[in-house]
Structure 1
C-alpha cells in the first residue's frame, strides 16, 4: 500500500466494527431504480506529495468521466492516517462513499465486515473481465477462495533508493545487496550529522511492511496456515529485532527517526540528510521535493544472502492500492462504470505515470513509461520476489498491534535502552494477546 498508512485504530474497536453489519451508504443518486444515477462520492487515498497534488491529478480525470457518462464524481482525498477509521465508521453509520480506495493489505479485513461489494464473475465482466489484471495484484484483493472485495488500481513494490552524491562522497561505489553489506556501507555513510538509512518508527504500517519482509527472510509469516496469530516465533522475533537493531545496534538510523511518521524519511532523503531509504515506488515523491532523477538510484531491497527471490529471499511485500465499491451504494451501476473507467488502459496509464506506480492492468504496462530503469526494478521485484501480506480478517489488527510494538521498541532504542531478544519477544507476546481469540 502506498505512503505507508497509519492504521491508528485499537484492535478491540476494530474487531467490533468489522463484525457489525454494513448499513446503507453512498451518495444519493437518481430517485428511481430505473433512472441513471447522477452523482457518486469517491474517497481517494493520498497518493501524491500532498492532498492538493492528488486533486490536481484526479479532478481532470473525474471531469472526463462526467463528460463521457453524465455522472458527477464528488472527490475527497483522505489522508492515510484517517482512512481506515473513516472506512470503519462508514460501515456502521451508513454515511460512506460509493467508491473508495483501500490499501491492498486491508482487503481481507474489510471483506470480513461485509461492507464491500463482492467482485464475482458478473461484476468483473461489467468492467472488462478479471483476466485484465496482473495475477500478483489480484492476490491482495481478499481471502483466497472467496470473491475479491476490491480490484487493483495501483501496484507498488519496495526498493532501496540511494543518494548518488552521498555515496560518492563516502567512497561507496554500489548499493548494498545484503543486510551485512547494509551495515558495512551504513557505517561509512553515518558521519558528520548525516545518516545511512531512513526509517519511520511511528509509522505503524511501514513498520509492518519492513518486519513482514524480514519475517519472510527468517522463515516466519506472523500467522499460522489456519489463520492464528503467531507473533512470537523465533523467526518473527529475529525479524523485529533485526529491523530495530539498525538503530539500536548498527547505529545507521538516526535516533530521531523513532518519532518519524508518514513521509518524513523521504524529506530527509531529498535534502541529503539520509543516504538511503526503503520505500515503495518513491520516484514521484522525490521529484515533487525537487530532486532530479539523476541524483538518486534504485536497487532491490536487501536480502540475508544471495539474490532476491521467493521464500527466504523475499524482499518486498506486494504493495498497492485497491478500488472498492460499498455494497449498499444506491448507485451500483454508476459505481461499476466508474471502476471500469479508472481501471481502463488509458486511465491506468495516466494515473500510474502521475504517481510513479505500476499499472496492475496488463495492457497499460506496455507503455514505455513503465520500462524506465527505476520501474524496471519494481516490476522485477513484483514478478519474482514479493509476497502478499496475510489475507486474513485480522490483518488490520496485526498492523496496529505489531506496528505499535515495533514503534515502542524504536522508542526504547532511541532512549538508549537495550533491545534484546527477550524484550522483543515480550512486546510481541503483548501484541499477540490483543488479537481476537480463535
Structure 2
C-alpha cells in the first residue's frame, strides 16, 4: 500500500476492520489466526543501530517472558520506512501480529481504523493501571475523550547534541540557547568539509517533528481546534522556512543532507563532520558509532529567545513508542500479559536503559541510570517544554504530505533554488490539498 492516499486507505480500513472484528478474526496466520495460547507474534520498531541490534537487545527479554509464562514470542523488527504501511495493511487484511510497536504520533490515526484493542479500565487494570504511566506519555496514546489505543513503552524527547572538540576549536564556550546563537555558532563551525548542523532532509518523520515545533515557536499550528488542517497559517509557514533556511540561507547545513533519510546525520555527527545535531536520545547510538561519552554534550533545543517552556517556548515534541494490541487477536490474555511484562518496572529499566530512552512508567524513572546528563535534559524537556503532536485522526496523513513537502523544499535549497515565504506557502498549500483529496 502506497502512502500517497492514506486518508482514503484509513477510511477503507475502518470499514474492513469492522467486518473483521464482527466475524471474530480471520483464519490466516497472524493476529487473526493465531489460536495457540502459547504463542504471540510481535512487531517491534527499529530503535537501535539496525534491525539486528534490536533483535539482540530484545531476544533475552522475550526469552525471560517465555520462561515466566510459557508463551513463546515470535519477534519481527520492522524498519521505520515500512512500519506504518505494514500496520495499515495488517489492519485491512486481519493478518498481522498480536502485539506491535507504533510511533506515538500515529495513535489517533490508527485508533480511527478500529483495528487496535482499546485500553479501557479493564485492560489497563490487567497491566497494572493507568496511574503507573507519566501523564505526558499517556497524552499521546489516542484522541482526547477516548480510551487509549496503546500504552507508552519508550519515552523520547529532542535535545541539541554538540561536539565538544569542534566547539573548542571554533572558540565556542557554551552551547547555543537561541536559534540566532545556533546560527552564529554554526557559521563558526562550517568550513573545511565540516558543517555546523546535521539534519535529515529526506526523513519524513524528522521533518514533521521539527516543522511542528518550529511552527509552535512562531505561534502557529498545522490543525485548528476541530482537527482541520491549517498548513498555510503564518506560524506554520514561518516555522518551516526557518528550519529549511539552515541549508537554504544560513548555509550551516550541507546540501547533501537534503538526501539523508535514515541515521546519516548521526553518522556525520559521530565522525566529526558536523558540530551539532538535533536528535531524540542519541547517546547509545553515538556510542555504537565509536563516539565516547566525553566527546559530546547535550543542551535543550534552542528557542527563539529566552528559555524553553510552554506556548511559543516549546522546544520538543512528546516523542516515543507505544505498545498496542490488535483487537482481533486470538490470544488477548497472552497479549495483555506481554504488555504487562514489557511495561513492568524491571523491564522498563532494562529496555529503556538499552536504548537510552526514558521510562514512561513513573516508578522506573527513579533508577540512577536515568539521571545522567543526557537523560536529565530529556526528562526536563518532557516535563517542562514538550508538546504532543496533534492527536487527531488525520495525523498520519499530515506526516505523509507535509514530510515530503519539506523534502522538496530541502531539495530546492540543495540545488540553489530560492526558498522564500511564498514558495514555502505554496508547498504547504499543495500538501493541504492532498489531504483534502
Q: Which residue of 2 aligns with 1:194?
A: 194
How far apart, CA to CA, are the structure 1 residues paired with 2:12 and 2:189?
A: 46
TM-score under structure 1 normalisation? 0.95
Match of 1:333? 333
In 2: Cα distance, 1:250 partner to 1:221 partner: 24
Match of 1:323 in 2: 323
Distance 1:165 1:89 in 2: 47
Unaligned runs of 5+ residues in structure 2 are none
CA-to-partner distance for each residue in 1:42-69, whole Å, 9 max, x for gaps? Answer: 0000000011111111000000000100
Counterpart position of 1:372: 372
Return the offset for 1:17: 4.4
Normalised by the length of structure 2, the TM-score is 0.96
> For residues 241 and 281 of structure 1, what CA distance do their matches in structure 2 show?
25
Who is 1:4 aligned against?
none
In the alignment, does 2:31 pair up with 1:26?
yes
CA contact (8 A) 1:266 1:286 kept: yes
Unpaired stretches in structure 1, ≥5 consecutive residues? 1-6, 32-36
For residues 220 and 331 of structure 2, the distance between their equivalents in structure 1, rounded to whole angstroms, comes to: 43
CA deviation string 1:371-401 (max 9, x = no partner): 0011000000000000000000000000010
Deviations 1:147-182 (A, max 9, x none): 000000000000000000111111111111101101
Shift of 1:30: 4.5
Q: CA deviation at 1:11?
A: 3.6
Tell me the number of residue pairs that the alignment of Structure 1 and Structure 2 aligns.
Answer: 426
Residues 28 and 39, structure 1, Cα contact 8 Å, conserved in 2: no
Query: Given that residues 15 and 436 in structure 1 are in contact (C-alpha distance below 8 angstroms), is that contact kept between their aligned partners in structure 2?
Result: no
Check whether the contact 1:300–1:315 (CA below 8 A) recurs between aligned residues. yes
Cα gap change, 1:400 to 1:393, in 2 (>3 Å): same
Give, in angstroms, the shift of residue 92 of structure 1: 1.0
Q: Look up the match of 1:115.
A: 115
Q: For residue 95 of structure 1, report the CA deviation from its aligned partner.
A: 1.0
- What stretches of structure 1 move > 6 A for 4+ residues in a row? none
* Correspondence for 2:66: 66
Residue aligning to 1:133 = 133
CA distance in structure 2 between the aligned counterparts of 1:29 and 1:249, rounded to whole angstroms: 55
Local SS of the residue matching 2:308: coil
Can you list the C-alpha shifts for 1:240-298, whole angstroms capped at 9, x where unaligned?
Answer: 10000110010000001001111010000000001110001111100111111000000
User: Which residue of the partner structure matches residue 211 of structure 2?
Assistant: 211
**Residue deviations 1:114-154 (CA, integer Å, cap 9, x gap):** 00000000000000000000000000000000000000000
- 2:227 alignment counterpart: 227
Secondary structure of the 1:171 match is coil
